[in-house]
């Protein structure tokens, strides 16, 4: 008799636990379906000297507080940017810093010419 009572109590506890987990999952799924999907874009381009069009390798490109660098050909790629306005700051030793704002609504490719000091 004790074994039957214990088995019934155990079965009841398992069923209650499963129901609680299902309700938590339903809430998570409901919340996820009501949140807006965020579209991700990338920004790429080239940094070069405005006088002779020479590529500037190692130029610093800062977007949303994250720093990236141009490669040996002056090219850069910044992945995972959200739609909207972003401020881009470009710095390179002995060159005038340049700041620009871009409004992303698709993947963009920008060429950034900076002047030597």
For the record, the structure tokens of 38 come out as 């965020």
How many helices (H) and strands (E) the chain has is answered by 1, 7
For the record, the structure tokens of 40 come out as 């991700």
Half-sphere exposure of 81 (CA within 13 A, CB side): 25
Q: Could you read off the pLDDT of 55-91 as tens digits, one per residue? A: 999 999 999 899 999 999 999 999 999 999 999 999 9
Quickly list H helices, the chain: 2-34
Cα 15 from Cα 66, distance rounded (Å): 49
Taking residues 32-40, what's their average pLDDT? 67
Q: Could you read off the pLDDT of 92-112 as tens digits, one per residue? A: 999 999 999 999 999 999 999
Share of the chain residues as helix, strand and coil, in percent rounded to the nearest 5: 30, 45, 30
């Amino acid at each position: 008799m004790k074994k039957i009572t214990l088995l019934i109590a155990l079965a009841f506890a398992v069923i209650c636990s499963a129901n609680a987990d299902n309700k938590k999952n339903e809430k998570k799924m409901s919340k996820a379906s009501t949140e807006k999907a965020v579209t991700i874009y990338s920004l790429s381009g080239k940094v070069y000297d405005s006088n002779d069009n020479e590529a500037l390798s190692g130029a610093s490109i800062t977007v949303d507080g994250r720093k990236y660098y141009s490669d040996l050909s002056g090219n850069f790629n910044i992945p995972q940017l959200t739609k909207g306005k972003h401020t881009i700051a470009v710095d390179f030793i002995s060159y005038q810093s340049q700041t620009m704002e871009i409004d992303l609504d698709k993947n963009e490719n920008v060429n950034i010419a900076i002047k030597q000091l």
